[in-house]
Amino acid sequence: MQVFRHADEMRAWSLSRKCAGKRVGFVPTMGALHEGHLSLMRAAVRENDVAVASIFVNPAQFAPNEDLDAYPRTFDSDLEMSQEAGIHAIYAPTASAMYPEGYSTYVNVDRVSEGLCSRTRPHFFRGVATVVVKLFNAVLPDRAYFGQKDAQQYAVIKRMAQDLDMGIEIIEMPIIREPDGLAMSSRNQYLGPEDRQRALCLSESLFRALDALEAGERSVDKIVRMVRDGMKDVDIDYVEIVDAETMQPVNEINRTVLLAVAAQVGPARLIDNIKFAPPEATAAQ
């Protein structure tokens, strides 16, 4: 497995593969890898001729009061895990190479990046969209893989790739959970035993809501209330039901929707979600 620090070297490597007719799969990460990242990497390896992952903690998606400095950095074990997953090349640029003195260009994706996480993290999706374009420009992927845990991020990147004619297939992979249901996240490392236990109310409330939806409940208010009631022990940021593609709030559950939650649990801000496609809507299509 090769490790590239510079965009030019990364691009030359990918270009030579593409000129040989090979498909490049790509998994962007901020490192601190866990089973969620590995599931994306294994898919990229399985579905493409060569697979690249990036490891870059992107300063542009953290606000000054957020956890940029504390964000876990485990580069050596990340390399080992990537190699075991079958990744062929790692792109790990430095922050100064990505954002040198005078850097001035940012990517904004309207509408889909409004609401949900951007209410408390207004800078976040501009930082994500910008870095993902820069990573795409270095890696030149045919397909890129993102986890459903960051469902709004996936929707933003998908919209951006479509709007900017990038010709890159944006693929969403299912959430990977701990055996007790907690969605895997690099930020779970911040949780002490008590917070770890309290954090379970996110997934448990979502699963209860999914049971209700599957049993035929279609009231947005009732589902949101049910989830909020289940999350009384944590500091809720939002509980919302939105259109799964546009991220716009819905009044009726008559298409594929995303039920998304975010909460502060001790030192960690956690997000989780489920998607639900009402069978009556899919049958009508």
Are 85 and 35 in contact, with CB atoms under 8 Å apart? no
Are 28 and 168 in contact, with CB atoms under 8 Å apart? no
37 labelled catalytic: yes
Are 146 and 153 in contact, with CB atoms under 8 Å apart? yes
Q: Please give the size of the binding site for ligand PAF, defined by CB under 6 A.
A: 10
CB of 127 to ligand PAF, least distance (A): 7
Active-site option among 6, 34, 37, 123: 37
Q: Which residue, 99 or 228, is less far from ligand PAF as judged by CB?
A: 99
Are 149 and 175 in contact, with CB atoms under 8 Å apart? yes
Are 251 and 224 in contact, with CB atoms under 8 Å apart? no
257/244 Cα distance (integer angstroms): 5
With contacts defined by CB under 6 A, name the span among 92-100, 127-135, 136-144, 218-226 that binds ligand PAF. 127-135
Are 76 and 209 in contact, with CB atoms under 8 Å apart? no
Instruction: Please tell me whether residue 28 binds ligand PAF under the rule CB under 6 A.
Output: yes
33/72 Cα distance (integer angstroms): 10
Q: Which residue, 173 or 239, is less far from ligand PAF as judged by CB?
A: 173
With contacts defined by CB under 6 A, name the span among 28-36, 136-144, 192-200, 213-221 that binds ligand PAF. 28-36
Instruction: Please tell me whether residue 58 binds ligand PAF under the rule CB under 6 A.
Output: yes
Three-state SS for 45? helix
**DSSP state letter for 76:** H
With contacts defined by CB under 6 A, name the span among 25-33, 99-107, 175-183, 263-271 that binds ligand PAF. 25-33
**DSSP state letter for 149:** G
CB of 275 to ligand PAF, least distance (A): 18
With contacts defined by CB under 6 A, name the span among 42-50, 82-90, 126-134, 228-236 that binds ligand PAF. 126-134
Instruction: Please tell me whether residue 78 binds ligand PAF under the rule CB under 6 A.
Output: no
Instruction: Please tell me whether residue 131 binds ligand PAF under the rule CB under 6 A.
Output: yes
End-to-end CA distance of the chain: 45
Using CB under 6 A, list all residues that contact ligand PAF: 28-30, 58, 61, 128, 131-132, 150, 153
For the annotated catalytic residues, the residue numbers are 37
